[in-house]
Amino acid sequence: MGGLGTRTKDRNPFGLGVSAAGFPPVAMVVLFGEFLSSVGSGATFPYLVVYLHDVCRLSGGQVGAVLVVRALAAVAGAVAGGALSDRYGAARTVVGVSATAAVAAAVMAGVPGNAVPAAVVAAITGTGAGAALAPALDALLARSVPGHAREKAFSWRNTVVTTGAMLGVAGAAVALGVLGVGSGLRWVYVLDAASFVVLAVLVGRAAGRRGNGGDGAGVHGAAGDLRARGGIGSSDKGYAAVARDPAMRGVFAFVLLVVAAGFAQLQIGLPAVSVLTHDVDGLGWVFTANMLVVAFAQVPAQRLLARLPRPVVLAGGASLMAGAWVIVAMDPTPGTGSLLAAAVVFGLGEVAYMPVVAALVNDLAPPGLAGRYNGANTLAWTGGFAIGAGAAGTLLGAGSVRLFFAVSAAVLGAGALVALSLARLLPKGSTDDR
């Protein structure tokens, strides 16, 4: 990544020499573990509402209340995960939090019908654990590769996670079709629990072989050193140090806007449009097309995008997402065709956004604060999603589909401007020359 030097070798926290042409074994372990975990998560995330309503027999109002508490748990998890990663090391945090998530999924798989409170608590706990896992995994992957390879590593991560989620969704559909909703969902949560166990075991063994916890607290390269020399160093503690970093504040604002007006509407807005237009049959194809674009375009696109300054890439990604919503807003009666086209264009925006933001956050993090920087990034994501979900429920509830997506496109346009403004906030050399 930009300004991180032209070294052909670096060292990672596990003591492995790293070739600039590839990833070290620890990074491969993390990527493979995340692939397996995403299979389990992909199998469950579309069906939580169905689980709460059909298996737990909660009313619509009760399901809504659970979803609100889950959103708060995600915010708390994002903050806690970053702090735990800095204090105990990224690998130890991944192992502990993965074990917690596995127990939560196992409870959801095995509770009898009269143990609804246990299932609800498990659903909320699993959400918080998932949010806590994100910053630890980000820090661990970034720490496992040399600085100049981070963006490439996060590109591969986006590919394997998307591919795993596709397999999980397909497997869940088969399970529910063959076994029925009740039995099928229980086996889906068994798969989810098993995937977290495997992730914990793989990361734990990889860290144990090198005799340390895979501390992600010290993620740094030339850009991290620049941040430290600029007055934000290991002597600054807690999230207050993150908030004092103007570059990270700019990244936080950008992520918040893109998630609220972009990703939240992909996952909530598009299904709502299908419901309002009574055209839900093609919704599965819409999401399949989106995931296929990401899975197949991410790694090839990374080679091209690496030649461009990071603020330009991020602005381009936000602009593509805005273009996707313009397609919906221009259709008087948005149907499967326009939603499919929008999902494809949005996928191209994801390809530009995902690896660059993750790598940038870790390059900005000074020694000792990588977990909290990644926690702030996750917090921006969970906060943006909560805002976007509330906006979608309010505006789409009135049937203002075209206006809603026009406003969302405008917000993403503002996000693109924020991305361009990062050029004056980022340390010299961190915006290009990757």
Residues 231, 128, single domain; the answer is no
Closest CA to 13 of 28, 29, 26: 26
Closest CA to 128 of 185, 180, 70: 70
Contact (CB, 8 A) for 430 and 223: yes
Q: Dump pLDDT digits (tens) for 146-173.
A: 878 888 888 888 888 888 888 887 887 7
H or E stretch covering 18: strand 17-19
Given this model, what pLDDT does residue 28 score?
A: 87
What confidence tier does 41 reach under pLDDT thresholds 50, 70, 90?
confident
Quick check: 254 pLDDT over 50? yes
Quick check: 410 pLDDT over 90? yes
Residues contacting residue 100 through CB under 8 Å, at least 6 positions apart: 125, 129
CA dist., res. 277 & res. 396, Å (int):
11
CA dist., res. 88 & res. 214, Å (int):
9
H or E stretch covering 370: helix 370-397
CA 384 from centre of chain: 12
Residues 167, 244, single domain; the answer is no
**Boundary of a domain, candidates 217, 237, 264:** 217
Given this model, what pLDDT does residue 398 score?
A: 62
**Boundary of a domain, candidates 164, 184, 217:** 217
CA dist., res. 163 & res. 350, Å (int):
14
Given this model, what pLDDT does residue 8 score?
A: 33
Residues 284, 380, single domain; the answer is yes
Residues 117, 185, single domain; the answer is yes
Given this model, what pLDDT does residue 245 score?
A: 94
**Boundary of a domain, candidates 156, 191, 217:** 217
∠ CA 355-358-364, nearest 5°, is 130
Mean pLDDT lowest among 53-62, 146-155, 251-260, 322-331? 53-62
**3-state DSSP assignment of residue 10:** strand
Name the residue range of residue 159's domain: 23-217
What single letter denotes the amino acid at residue 94? V
Mean pLDDT lowest among 141-145, 225-229, 258-262? 225-229
Share of the chain above pLDDT 90, in %: 36
Residues 241, 157, single domain; the answer is no
The alpha-helical segments, DSSP class H, found in 16-111 are 25-44, 48-50, 60-88, 90-110
∠ CA 15-17-22, nearest 5°, is 125
Supply the CATH number for residue 72's domain: 1.20.1250.20
Q: How far apart are the first and last CA of the chain?
A: 4
Residues 335, 263, single domain; the answer is yes
Residues 196, 320, single domain; the answer is no
Given this model, what pLDDT does residue 77 score?
A: 92
Work out whether the CA dihedral 289, 354, 40, 70 comes out positive or negative: negative
Q: Dump pLDDT digits (tens) for 47-76.
A: 777 778 777 887 767 877 887 888 889 889
Quick check: 221 pLDDT over 60? no
Closest CA to 97 of 142, 42, 37, 36: 37
What confidence tier does 249 reach under pLDDT thresholds 50, 70, 90?
very high
Give the residue with greater pLDDT, 322 vs 385: 322
CB-based burial label for 327 (10 Å; 0-12, 13-18, 19+):
buried
Q: Which pairing describes strands 17-19 and 9-11: parallel, antiparallel, or unpaired?
A: antiparallel
Quick check: 12 pLDDT over 60? no
Residues 307, 415, single domain; the answer is yes
CA dist., res. 292 & res. 141, Å (int):
24
Number of domains in the chain: 2
Residues 134, 211, single domain; the answer is yes
Give the residue with greater pLDDT, 382 vs 19: 382
Given this model, what pLDDT does residue 430 score?
A: 54
Assigned domain for 347 exists? yes
Assigned domain for 2 exists? no
Quick check: 369 pLDDT over 70? yes
Tell me the helices (H) and strands (E) count for the chain, helix number first: 17, 2
The alpha-helical segments, DSSP class H, found in 144-278 are 150-179, 181-209, 222-229, 238-243, 246-258, 264, 270-276
Q: What integer best gives the mean pLDDT of the chain?
A: 81
**3-state DSSP assignment of residue 95:** helix
Q: Dump pLDDT digits (tens) for 167-210.
A: 887 887 788 778 887 777 888 889 999 999 999 999 988 876 65
Residues 209, 246, single domain; the answer is no
CB atoms within 10 A of CB 348: 20
Average pLDDT over residues 363-376: 90
Share of the chain above pLDDT 70, in %: 83
Residues contacting residue 393 through CB under 8 Å, at least 6 positions apart: 268
